Amino acid sequence: MILKNDLLLRAARGEAVERPPVWLMRQAGRILPQYRALRERLSGFKELVETPALAAEVTIQPVDELDVDAAIIFSDILVIPEAMGLPYDMIEKRGPLFPETIRSGSDIDKLVAGEDAAARLSYVYDALELTRKELDGRAPLIGFSGAPWTLLAYMVEGSGSKTFSRAKRMLYQEPALAHQLLGKITQTIIAYLHAKARHGAHLIQLFDSWAGILSPALYREFGAPYLRQICTAITEVPVTVFAKGAWFALEDIARMDCQVVGLDWNISPEEGRSRVGAEKVLQGNLDPCYLYADPEQIQAATQKMLDAFGGRHIANLGHGVYPDTPLDGVRAFVQTVKHYRYK
Ligand code: CP3
């Protein structure tokens, strides 16, 4: 099927485009009234994630409502730990919780990995296929995975945390165990992402949401090498690496076999470009809190950001959109990008 809007893919390949494509991390979710309405009728978050028809519906909502240039499959990074043998609960208003966590080498030995784990995620592949069909070429479909370090963080910590000190403790106290776990997670991610590409994802984004809590030395040892392995393995579609908070690792990430590098709002477009170098396409990076401002302010800030990136850019926020963001703010951001033209 031919894409009617392939701007994201042309931009990700580094082609000259008339304007940057625009989408928002976490666009499929609570900012939309139609998402909240659907969600209220269901038993919980996991029912949405695990029912392909519902996941497809929620994935397409922001394309209908906001006219963004990409859809991102409705799912979660935590489906991988679950497929490996560590189920998660999503607690209302609190976030994820793992009843069991990784404590020892024997816990790691028990985990399922690679193709065997990826084979348990057929509901994601079904959701991708259905979404592709229902999108009917209106926008490319992004698939994603958590990065190995971020997934280890949840599997060891057992929940969200400000410090992830239990997970970081493993890196210092038992580095060999951490490497063993990261290796198993990485093999699973690679099998999973090959399957996602096979079932219709046009581009893959890797979310290393907790990269920024590691020191540069820890990230060099436990973060970057595993991301690099994934980038090297996934050759069938473009790959975006978004390592939140890890401005110190951008030079390293720039040398990975990826096409796009995501930036958060802690770094300016100019400094991001100078650290990443000329070759890669950059994605980001407006502060999500800017969308609480007046539409005129949002328009001015967005134009300034687009001018600063200047090209080889995919417009997005510096992290996921917050659930209480006014839709008018989101629309002002998206429409400003859509009316922009490179000189
Ligand atoms: O981006 C999208 O619109 C696609 C869907 C998507 C979700 N999670 C749905 C979701 C994506 C890409 C994710 C990735 C994800 N999940 C990350 C990486 C991205 C990031 O924000 O850094 C992380 C760290 C998670 C883990 C996770 N899932 C947490 C910590 C939480 C609870 C906190 C929160 O933001 O609500 C979730 C739940 C979750 N995942 C929701 C959605 C829409 C909220 C569930 C609801 O209440 O309906």
Domains defined for the chain, CATH in brackets: 7-339 (3.20.20.210)
Catalytic residue among 10, 13, 19, 30: 30
Return d(Cα 186, Cα 148) in angstroms, integer. Answer: 6
Atom of ligand 1 nearest to the CA of 90: 38
In tens, the pLDDT along 207-244 reads 999 999 999 999 999 999 999 999 999 999 999 999 99
User: Distance, CA 316 to ligand 1 centroid (Å)?
Assistant: 16
Catalytic residue among 39, 138, 166, 255: 39
Main-chain dihedrals φ then ψ at residue 205, nearest 5 degrees: -115, 130
Residue 208 is a catalytic residue: no
Tell me if the pTM is above 0.85.
yes
Instruction: Give residue 12's pLDDT band: very low, low, confident or very high (50, 70, 90).
Output: very high
Residue 30 is a catalytic residue: yes
Atom of ligand 1 nearest to the CA of 146: 18
Cα–Cα separations (whole angstroms), residue 168 to 149, 153, 340? 10, 8, 43
Average pLDDT of span 87-108: 96
Residue 154 is a catalytic residue: yes
Burial class (CB in 10 A: 0-12, 13-18, 19+), 255: middle
